[in-house]
Structure 1
Amino acid sequence: MIGKVGTGKSFRGVLHYLFEGRRQENKELQMQELEKKQVEVIAYNQCFGTRLELVREMIEVAKLNPYQSKPVFHFSLSFAHSDAGKLGLQDKIDMVEKLAEKFDFKDHQYVVVAHKDTDHEHMHIVANRIGFDGKTASDSNSYKHVAEFARKMEIEYKLERVLSPNKFLKPEQRVAQSQRLDSRKEALKKHLQAAIKQSKDVQQVKKYMEQRGYEVELGRGIAFTDAQHVRFKGSQVGYALMDIEKKLKQEPLLQQQEQNRQAQVLRQQQEELKKQQQQEKEIQQTRQHTPSIGR
């Protein structure tokens, strides 16, 4: 079993991904994405309702600690192919309760969702790190702790032991995983290119990216985490913070150059049209002044 964990700022973003998948360009594509996900809600704890109702409920409780900028816990638990069908619904609920106990959010709000859009079973847990007492569940050493939890569950439930996320992937699936990683990089790169064109400074770039579902870490450098908790440094896609700042300074000049180029093309087209019209006029005049030869 493979366990992953991340923290985040937006309940809205992560719950949208859990219930509706990645944001699509139109309603039809969004419905196709939803159908592909095959979403199944396994359990609720201290909360209940639709996606939007869950968002509102969790935000209200998170307000009890306004100083915590990352109130979201997002876990995923993935099982090897050989473990398919081994765990019943109650087994999965029990496992999540043990996870909540380990990470100290057993009395907090959380929802458990299963997705069936990959070749191996997996489920997501979104929890509110903020409890009803206003205290925050710690995320210290969370990557280490979730790995320890996975090893313990493998023993307890007699699951295949998986030390590496790639171990139970077939060769073609490893290739597909690499391709997905590349596609995420390309998507990030395209979003950054669009953000820079529409922004005047780094803060506007940050806002643009957050509106498209990315979490942005901005300090000495810059990093982006998508809805599936895949994190890239800006430098991994050719957009280190220094590069972004440089491009932001260049963008007004580039836009002006493009406007000048387009204006020049338009002038040339107008001149060509004018020239063509003049030639046609001269031909017409010549025809009018040329006497016809009769028989």
Structure 2
Amino acid sequence: MIGKIFPKSAGSFKGRIRYIFGCTKHDHEISGIRTISHNTMSRDPLPAILQGNEEDVLEMIKEFDSVETMRRMSIDSDKAIKPVFHAMLSLRPGESLTTAQWRTAVQAYMADLGFDETNQYVAVMHQDKDHQHVHIVANRIRLTDEFSMVRDSNERSTSLDSVSRIEDRFSLTKAPKPKDTWGVSISHAELQASIRDNDLPMKHKMIAKIAGAIERTQATNGDMFDFVKSLRKQKVYIHLTLNEEGQPKGISFEFDGKHISGRQLKRSRLTWHKLTTQEGIKYDPETIRELQAEIARRDSEEQERLRIYYYEFIPVSGRRRKPIYIKFTGRDYQLQKLIKELLELIDAIFDAIFKPRECRLKVRYIEYVPGQPLEFEEEQAIELH
């Protein structure tokens, strides 16, 4: 079982409640919806919804929304709150629970997260082919005289522990914990792109390469220098963000010209803090300069890939005076040959059609390596006549 807590929100419960009852478009096919349990005064809206009537679901939404209104009238506070809680409990394909078992699982999960009978909630199961999952929408405001809020500190670790107990209770397949897996979620857009390109998403490629470098560094009890070298063999390069003391506070990874921060890749394992503490990659603050020098190193192939070339065409007579530049990189060696062939073609065209009398084109070859002075090849004049 996997437990997922969605971002909390302020305002009305309308969007979340209509979503779980199938009143709005879903990003997955739903072959069946079943109300598991709810503790509201309003009745289960599903029977009416199946008949095309949303009056009951609107009544439930109104009941949820009214609690924040009462709280605002009773408590003199302008502090912004986010009462809308939305979570999902999802089984592996092929596994299933009865309605009674789901009801028990939902009540145990809610209790573990700090919700009680004074918190409104509704739980609805979606059957997606052979994949059962239950959505829970709850009000974090307790319907008491104090209108206190359910605390959300450490809720994600609490959620993991609660799901583990539910798995044990109903003999479900144990889901690996985040610290034990390199798995990373994939967005719908990334999935579509990977299908279109017949290739893995960039995040997954980078995760695989970085994970391998971490495991190799750990196997040799290595340090940050070893990690950087191992990454470089995978054509992955790191960039550090420094704090006011000149020490690393953030890290990003570069692969194939794309940069993604460690937090965006996998914040539970790939931030600078997690790498040096949780993953055990040793770092000595006294070596920051040497580390930056090691990070700046690229192998010869990568240096050549970064090398930038230009052909500069400067008309030395005629109306046009502005130079023309054609840019290419070290990966585009064949372009040099193409440019020469194009020059020959231009020469032939001008000679055969326009036959200008006093037209000369000066060509200069420019080579640029990032961080180094420009290098110029001897100028060459091409007369077109």
Structure 1's 55 and 162: CA in aligned 2 closer, same or farther, altered over 3 A? same
How many Å separate the matches in 2 of 1:23 and 1:81?
22
- Residue 78, structure 1, aligned to residue 90, structure 2: yes
Equivalents in 2 of 1:143, 1:122: separation in Å?
A: 18
- Residue 144 (structure 1) shift: 1.2
Q: Offset at 1:52?
A: 0.9
d(CA) in 1 for partners of 2:152, 2:129: 28
Question: Per chain length, whose mean CA-contact separation is higher, i.e. which structure has more relative contact order (CA < 8 Å, sep 6+)?
Answer: 1
* Structure-2 residue corresponding to 1:92: 102
Matched position secondary structure for 1:163:
coil
Letter in 2 for 1:150: V
**Equivalents in 2 of 1:153, 1:35: separation in Å?**
26
Query: Could you say what secondary structure the match of 1:39 adopts?
Result: strand
State the 1:48 CA deviation: 2.6
Corresponding residue for 1:14?
16
| 1:109 partnered with 2:120 | yes
2:64 matched to 1:58? Answer: yes
Letter in 2 for 1:65: R
Count of aligned positions: 169
Counterpart amino acid of 1:8?
S
Q: Which residue in the other structure is 2:81 paired with?
A: 69
In 1: Cα distance, 2:192 partner to 2:112 partner: 32
> Contact 1:81–1:119 (CA<8 Å) still a contact in 2?
yes
Normalising by structure 2, report the TM-score: 0.39
Letter of the 2:134 partner, please give it.
Answer: M
Relative to structure 1, is the Cα distance of residues 3 and 179 closer, same or farther in structure 2, using a 3 angstrom cutoff? Answer: closer
Q: Shift of the alpha carbon at 1:76?
A: 0.4
Q: Measure how far apart 1:38 and its partner are.
A: 2.5
Gap runs ≥5 in structure 2: 44-55, 73-78, 194-260, 265-385
Quick one: distance in 2 between partners of 1:19 and 1:161? 28
Q: Tell me the SS of whatever aligns to 1:76.
A: strand
Write the distance in 2 (CA, Å) between the matches of 1:130 and 1:90: 26
Q: Which ranges of structure 1 fall in alignment gaps of 5 or more residues?
A: 25-32, 168-173, 186-232, 237-295
More strand per residue: 2
Q: In the alignment, is the contact (CA less than 8 A) between 2:94 and 2:130 conserved in 1?
A: no
Residues in 1 aligned to 2:35 and 2:109: alpha-carbon distance in whole angstroms: 17
SS in 2 for 1:97: helix
Cα gap change, 1:48/1:37 in structure 2, threshold over 3 Å: closer, same or farther? farther
Distance in 1, matches of 2:32 and 2:38, equals 18
Amino acid at match of 1:71: P
- Match for 1:59: what amino acid? D
Rg comparison, structure with higher value:
2
**What is the aligned-residue identity percentage?**
29
Structure having the larger proportion of residues in helix: 1
d(CA) in 1 for partners of 2:80 and 2:136? 20
Counterpart residue number, 1:45: 39
